[in-house]
Amino acid sequence: MFYALSPLVWKRVWREQLPGRSRAERLGRIPDHRGQRVLWVHAASVGEVVTAAPVIRALIDDNPEHRVVVTTMTATGAERVAALFGSEVSHYFIALDFPAATRRMVRLLDPELLVIVETELWPNLIHAAADHHVPIALINARITERGFKRYQRFKRLVGDMLIRINWAAVKSGEDGKRFRALGLPVKRITVAGALKFDLEVDDATRALGEVMRERIGPRPVWIAASTHDGEERAALEAHARLRSRYPEALLILVPRHPQRFDAVAGLCIDQLGAQAVARRSHDDAILAATQVYLGDTMGELMGLYACAEVAFVGGTLVPIGGHNLLEPAALGVAVLSGPQLANLSEIADALARANARIEIDDAASLGDTLVELFDDPAQRRRLGAAARGVVEANRGAKKLIRDHLLAMIPLEPRERRR
């Protein structure tokens, strides 16, 4: 079936490439690592890389005799791996899920452990790793209600795949029940909580926030981050509402996908004029006339959150399912979101229970909420402090996962396999 769909697959991944990198990696044609002890982590894209970063760091630090290899599906994920770890890891694009390609990649890596982040469940990859006697761990695993119903249509195929997974660290009890219903033995399931709660705010992030805040000056600042098509217009409409009360207010706008940076810049210029828009990638100055600062770079989102007072997290006003609410929360920034939160319902619920997130429905309610929060600094600070408290109270998944993965790595090198 996958071979039959290959023209569509190649069309989808053709743009997910980096200069100087061969597309043959998509067929598993990578350097031979069979002379090394390899630990393999697969994280689909930027979000999964950021989520898995503490675990990848632990694998590097705890296993100096091993080479950590990270694979991603997207080019932006690859860039994030390079930014976080540089030469400390090897990166390749994951082989497409053709039987021969996945077998080739597994054979050439010959890993002692495969760690799959979230729910990157590719049947041929998992079969190839299991047939090669590679222990497989699934971390930060989740299945949404919609995904569960989709998997149930192919329950026999899914069960045949899940039975080959040695251990799954799931985000919630509900996720555990869904994996069990699909065929993963209960004794291989651990409810570890969400790994995203173990997000660390490093010195570089805080330094960037301080530098940006100094450049901006004493103005009301809010950020609309990880936005999708339709959400930028909503953010601009809400910003106009805020500026009617606070004319000096600044919006930091960060689209989710880099291929949309120029289009979003064009939208802002069309609505506000070129003099009102500054771009991070151009190193434009933030002047008194600047109304929107476009964060059109990769790897700096946390630093941009750090200089804002209120954060709207995108993918929540459109049917995407939401992006990482915990990044602004960990910085003590007041968190706003729309209602589309299927991808992170347990995190959204934890914030809501602690009165640490405000849910808005559209551009008008976003604008009204911004005015309320900037009118009431005490409420804004309370909201941010409550969000940070939720992050601190739910840490712990990293240690549990770290300890279990260490136990899965053999003490002695594996017998070399062909």
Are both 159 and 62 inside the same structural domain? yes
Are both 182 and 262 inside the same structural domain? no
Are both 357 and 285 inside the same structural domain? yes
Whether 198 is covered by a domain: the verdict is no
Are both 71 and 167 inside the same structural domain? yes
Whether 12 is covered by a domain: the verdict is yes
Are both 255 and 133 inside the same structural domain? no
Whether 334 is covered by a domain: the verdict is yes
Closest CA to 235 of 335, 306, 314, 329: 314
Radius of gyration over alpha carbons of the chain, in Å? Answer: 22
Are both 138 and 230 inside the same structural domain? no
Are both 181 and 216 inside the same structural domain? no
Given a cut of 90, whether residue 20 has pLDDT beyond it is: no
If DSSP codes are grouped into helix, strand and coil, which group holds residue 179? helix
Out of 48, 112, 232, 300, pick the active-site residue: 48
pLDDT of residue 417: 59
pLDDT of residue 199: 84
Task: Summarize the confidence of residues 15-38 as an average pLDDT.
Answer: 91
Domain with residue 79: its CATH number is: 3.40.50.11720
* pLDDT, tens digit (0-9, with 9 covering 90-100), for 337-395: 999 998 888 899 999 999 999 999 999 999 999 999 999 999 999 999 999 999 999 99
* pLDDT, tens digit (0-9, with 9 covering 90-100), for 268-294: 999 999 999 999 999 999 999 999 999
Are both 187 and 212 inside the same structural domain? no
Q: Which residue has the higher pLDDT, 325 or 411?
A: 325
Given a cut of 90, whether residue 46 has pLDDT beyond it is: no
* pLDDT, tens digit (0-9, with 9 covering 90-100), for 243-258: 999 999 999 999 999 8
In Å, how far are 1, 6, 10, 130 from 98, measured between CA atoms? 10, 9, 12, 15
Task: Summarize the confidence of residues 206-210 as an average pLDDT.
Answer: 94
Q: How far apart are CA 155 and CA 158, in angstroms?
A: 5
Whether 173 is covered by a domain: the verdict is yes
pLDDT of residue 302: 94
Whether 138 is covered by a domain: the verdict is yes
Whether 413 is covered by a domain: the verdict is no
Q: What range defines the domain where residue 332 resides?
A: 203-393
Are both 126 and 265 inside the same structural domain? no
Are both 179 and 158 inside the same structural domain? yes
Are both 322 and 360 inside the same structural domain? yes
Task: Summarize the confidence of residues 182-191 as an average pLDDT.
Answer: 96
CA-CA-CA-CA dihedral for 150, 152, 157, 159, to nearest 10: 130
Region class of 79: left (phi > 0), else alpha (psi between -120 and 50), else beta? alpha
337: which 2 tokens? 């979101």
Q: How far apart are CA 329 and CA 62, in angstroms?
A: 29
Count of domains in the chain?
A: 2
Helix axes of 173-182 and 145-152: crossing angle, nearest 10 degrees = 10
Given a cut of 70, whether residue 418 has pLDDT beyond it is: no
Active site residue 237: no
What count of Cα atoms within 13 Å lies in the side-chain half-sphere of residue 308?
Answer: 31
pLDDT of residue 7: 80
Are both 246 and 148 inside the same structural domain? no
Strand partners, 215: none
Whether 416 is covered by a domain: the verdict is no
Whether 415 is covered by a domain: the verdict is no
Q: Are 276 and 264 in contact (CB under 8 A)?
A: no
Task: Summarize the confidence of residues 37-42 as an average pLDDT.
Answer: 98
**How many residues does the structure list for the chain?**
418
Pairing of strands 90-93, 67-72: parallel
Strands (E), 37-126: 38-42, 67-72, 90-93, 113-117
